A = this chain, B = another copy of it.
Amino acid sequence: MPYFDTASSAPLHPVARQALHASLDEGWADPARLYREGRRARLLLDAARESAAEAVGCRPDELVFTPSGTSAVHSGMSGALFGRRRVGSHAVVSAVEHSSVLHAARAHGDATGGEVTEVPVDRYGAVSPGTYAGALRDDTALACLQSANHEVGTEQPVAAVAEACRSRGVPLLVDAAQSLGWAPVDGAWSLLTASAHKWGGPAGVGLLAVRKGVRFARRGPADERESGRVPGFENIPAIVAAVASLRAVRAQAADEDVRLRVLVDRIRARVPELVPDVEVVGDPVRRLPHLVTFSCLYVDGESLLHELDRADFSVNSGSSCTSSTLTPSHVLRAMGVLSEGNVRVSLPLGTPDAEVDRFLEVLPGAVSGVRARLGAPVSAPLAGSGRPAPGAGAPGDPSGGPVSGGRSGDALPGTAPSLVVDALGRRCPIPVIELAKVFGEVPVGGTVAVLSDDEAARLDIPAWCEMRGQEYVGEEPADHGVAYVVRRVS
């Protein structure tokens, strides 16, 4: 049962398990107490802090343990923003941060009226240091940047952004949740957060490092634990296990980086050869060693995940149909890439080559099965970006919606006669499938307007155009939804 979603949560590392068992006997007492059980717990906590600080690259008194990575982000951002409230209330984040960062930034904005600038990313998902630097202002209280993206694996230019922040006197918080198991974060960061269950530690442990000299003022009720920064009884056995696991994965990191990088490159190269109409996303080189993401046209992510689960592969998806809000992943949206049929593969340490090969055997059938059930157009494999598609619908469409084709006037002023496809009430990937099915019917120069009320269409119809080499004209309001207009150029 290959588990390929270590970016969500990694199974407990054997070293973490050992450390947890051992410290359950020694680390359950209150480390603030004066008696021997308390002193023993305190020794374990102090040793874990020293060891974690060494792995992070900070001083032990700069590091506290939190109940989760999310809690580390919330505490770190709120403490830094409140600490610099006299400077201003402006915050800068990248558009592809983890939701915990974006939600904390919005909560800060709502509470203080402070503005939040989201720095855009390129099609690989990376910010440009110049653009990031340009977003810094005199009233910027805090800047945030992840070390590497959790959905597509792209590394961010943290050192360059940290330097830009340093020169403007703005503290930079780095969310290192996805990368800390691989290496420390380079550069002059001011705050750093991470989450132990991402590197094989137990749940319930996050890290927050705040460099000396960074203004920090905790909000909320006072509490003496963890330097006054993290209220609540310390979870020492889990902390000990988390730190033991961090050291263990770091010891494996150099070898596994090389090995998993090869496996991910294999997936990146083979998936477009094996599966037609696929977009592999994220930076092919400047990326996490173990993570790769691709999206499959005419596929709904949830069905594909179930197909892969039935074939014993556990992966994740940023497709709208796998989200409780029915919106595509904000990361894919910010990158402007296809979100339908999205699959994220993140390999655990020690993943055997054979499991990846087996995944590549299973994937094409899983995708084509979902497509067949949806009545999707059939393409030949190795359909590359910008390559013209056949555009013909598959015969017999059991799930097809009402398609009201026909020349119905100009979609946008001055365009050629067009088709209108009514996909209102239909969810991803149906609007794109309906577009593809009728696209062959319009002449070159003509347009198709897809009426849709599905959020994913706003991302996936332009992405389809990009993949197909067709022109995305734009969107305009329509009754009960939006008309997305595409012009045939080839």
Contact = CB atoms under 8 A, between A and B. Distances in A.
Nearest to A195: B233
A90 B20 CA distance: 44
B29 A224 contact: no
A37 interface: yes
Contacts of A231: 68, 70-71, 74, 100
Nearest to A220: B107
A18 B206 CA distance: 25
Contacts of A10: 28
A98 B407 CA distance: 73
A336 interface: no
Number of copies of this chain that the complex holds: 2
Interface string A202-232: 1110100000000000001111100000011
Contact of A33 (B5, B78, B236): B5
A127 B219 CA distance: 30
B322 A223 contact: no
Nearest to A197: B233
A107 B222 contact: yes
Contacts of A71: 67, 231-232
Interface in A229-272: 231-238
A-B pairs with the 10 shortest C-beta distances? A68-B232, A67-B67, A35-B314, A204-B235, A103-B221, A70-B232, A203-B235, A204-B204, A104-B221, A107-B221
Interface of A: 1, 3, 5, 8-12, 17, 20-21, 24-25, 28-30, 33-38, 67-71, 74, 78, 99-100, 103-104, 106-107, 195, 197, 202-204, 206, 220-224, 231-238, 302, 305-306, 308-309, 313-316, 322, 324
14 contacts: A8-B29, A8-B30, A34-B309, A38-B314, A68-B233, A70-B223, A100-B221, A103-B221, A103-B223, A107-B222, A195-B233, A203-B233, A204-B204, A235-B238
